[in-house]
Amino acid sequence: MADLIEAILQAKGESALERELSPEQELAVLARMLHAEGYDDHIFGHLSIRQPDGSLLVNPSNLGWRQVTSSDVVRLAPDGTHLAGRRVAPAAIELHLALHRLREDVVVAVHNHPRWGTIWAAAGRVPPAYEQIGAFLADDDIIFHRGYDGTVVDPVTAERNVSSLGSSTVGLLENHGVFVVGASVREAYYRCVSLESRSRIAWHVEVLGGGQPFPADQHETLAARIRKVGVQNLFESAARWEIDRDPDVLS
């Protein structure tokens, strides 16, 4: 294990890190990274990563995201049947089962109640982009699901929430939280970072009385570029920091 950790810490570039992390380790590290970004609502929230065989890796029930290790990760069949893992999946994983049934383009899905994004979900508004990182997301990347109609433990409610997302990549769920998806862990991670940054800065700017939103033409250009090429080394930098801080995440 020590050799594996050292290899990961010394890895250069995307392919090296990707090659060293198992799928279970990747989910555990992602959970820790997102917790550090404010996706930290106690034991609530859930992650899923679809595997090439169609199964889903998910975070375990009743553990905060800063506590998750590789050996805690649960593997489910597409219908939710437990396939592997010493723990059980969260009851509200129905949201992810519905999503992966409806969206073949989605590999990674994140649902949580982050500090700042949840404020805007409760206020019933999409936060404006006032700064560069928040502008990584185009306005039409974000959809607002109106109306709290029950917890997503219920399969019907879960499917209704997922259906409202359409083809968008980020959803604000009114009076609830956020939902972010991506075709890879790197894509999902930068979107989560961008959404929470956008939500935090917008709240502070509006408390001060308002400001000038990010210029529309520049916003469109930046978001289009990020959508095409991603954010280089953002995932790798945060992953190495988390592994260095607590190597047990890989155990």
pLDDT per position as a tens digit, 10-23: 543 433 354 589 99
In a domain, 1, yes or no: no
In a domain, 167, yes or no: yes
SS3 call for 110: strand
Calculate what percentage of the chain has a pLDDT beyond 90: 81
Report in angstroms the alpha-carbon separations of 147 from 126, 134, 163, 168: 14, 25, 14, 18
Could you tell me the pLDDT band of residue 29, with boundaries at 50, 70 and 90?
very high
Cα–Cα distance measured from residue 176 to residue 173, given in angstroms and rounded to the nearest whole number:
5
How big is the chain by its Cα radius of gyration, in Å? Answer: 18
In a domain, 80, yes or no: yes
In a domain, 235, yes or no: yes
In a domain, 40, yes or no: yes
pTM here? 0.90
The DSSP code for 151 is -
In a domain, 189, yes or no: yes
Calculate what percentage of the chain has a pLDDT beyond 70: 92
Give the model confidence (pLDDT) of 80-109 as tens digits.
999 999 999 998 898 899 999 999 999 999
In a domain, 242, yes or no: yes
In a domain, 16, yes or no: no
Q: Which two tokens stand for residue 70?
A: 């590789």
The DSSP code for 250 is G
Residue 104: partners with Cβ closer than 8 Å, 6 or more residues away: none
CATH number at residue 80: 3.40.225.10
Number of domain units in the chain: 1
Provide the domain limits for residue 207: 22-246
